[in-house]
Amino acid sequence: MNELERQLHYPLADRLREGGGTIELAPGVRWVRMALPFALDHINLWLLDDEIDGVQGFTAIDCGIASDATRAAWERLFDTVFAGRPLLRVIATHFHPDHLGCAAWLAAGGDKRRFSAPLWMTLGEYAFGKFLSAAHGEERGAAAADHFRAHGVTDEQTLDKVRARAAVHYPSLVPAVPESFRRIMDGDEIAIGPHGAKRIFRVIVGYGHAPEHASLYCEAAGGESALLVSGDMVLPRISTNVSVFEIEPEANPLPRYLRSLDHYLMLSADTLVLPSHGKPFVGLHKIVAQQHAHHAARLAEVLAACEQPRSAAEILPLLFRRELDLHQTTFALGESLAHLHALWFEGRLARTRGADGVYRFQRAARP
Ligand SMILES: [Zn+2]
């Protein structure tokens, strides 16, 4: 446990195993954990008792990637927790594969087509996921390699790997997205729960991690603490990835992310936060402060490093001092660029493109 993590409070033991076990966090709110084949090896999903149009069943929040292991874990839940009741609705917080990958299969009722459930998402997330799932692999691969090259990754072998990964990565984990969805927007209220015991969840849209990320907040009531299904916007052990990717190469996501986090300061400080990775925790305001401090420190480091012209590839080892696999490198380059762009947009760094086609950033001369 690191020093920052020690400031958070985990009211639940970490006794949940991947693969279909559940813990009831509050009446009718279950924590489900599913395995991921990455360095980040799990995702948390939330399964809520629900009733829609007089039918009793469940609402699932997030889905897991499309894999045999995820589908098998859901099938076990259908056979046990569901006990014949249907899934009534799937809410996906954002388009990332671990959240959306299994949505089409889940919405269609699993292997046995036991039910059909609508997918609820923001427009930005649905459109992005739908597009990337169907995107032409070769073009996406070439765009990713060009992006890496323009930011200082010049080793051809690495670029080949980047190209090959980007061509298949998203569609392999999200082979399909449902053909239709129900749009949710910032400020919408979603009633979830059995008749007479519904909780009202307010949609809070956040930026910087994904185009239109939805988190869901339920006020404290009846002696129960407030709940925030935070998705990936706040995580207890690691900082949320905030990246510039090839699809939006001049994006400035970091200030958007930090501004989005500030909305959480208006929520109750003792909210039980249900994050997509790690354990449910109490300490929402602390984690917002930690994220501000973390990124301020990194921006200062990046600015200091840019006394000389630096590419994003040269900044990367400064921010990530450990060995990274290709999957992690993709996010690390994006994150390095997010910090450079935040300073560039503020006018504290100037950007030039060299004869080699590589963008470099240097401390701006004072006006
Ligand atoms: Zn995510």
What DSSP string describes 281-300?
A: EE-HHHHHHHHHHHHHHHHH
Q: What's residue 17's pLDDT?
A: 54
Q: What's residue 280's pLDDT?
A: 93
pTM: 0.94
CA of 309 to the centre of ligand 1 (A): 31
Which pair of structure tokens corresponds to residue 347? 């006018």
CA of 231 to the centre of ligand 1 (A): 7
Phi, psi for 307 (deg, rounded to 5) = -60, -35
CA of 146 to the centre of ligand 1 (A): 23
Q: What's residue 181's pLDDT?
A: 98
pLDDT of 107 > 60? The answer is yes
CA of 36 to the centre of ligand 1 (A): 13
CA of 128 to the centre of ligand 1 (A): 13
CA of 222 to the centre of ligand 1 (A): 32
pLDDT of 364 > 70? The answer is yes
Q: What's residue 3's pLDDT?
A: 64
* CA gap 47, 167 in Å, rounded: 33
- Name the pLDDT band for 164 (thresholds 50, 70, 90): very high
Using alpha carbons, select from 203, 269, 188 the residue that is nearest to residue 233. 203
Domains and their CATH numbers in the chain = 3-131+172-283 (3.60.15.10)
pLDDT of 19 > 60? The answer is no
CA of 270 to the centre of ligand 1 (A): 24
Which pair of structure tokens corresponds to residue 69? 């292991």
Report the run of H or E that residue 227 belongs to, with start and end: strand 227-231
Q: What's residue 129's pLDDT?
A: 97
Mean predicted lDDT score pLDDT of the chain = 93
Higher-confidence position of 19 and 218: 218
CA of 356 to the centre of ligand 1 (A): 33
Predicted confidence (pLDDT) per residue in 24-52, tens digit: 889 999 999 988 877 778 899 999 999 99
Q: What's residue 340's pLDDT?
A: 98
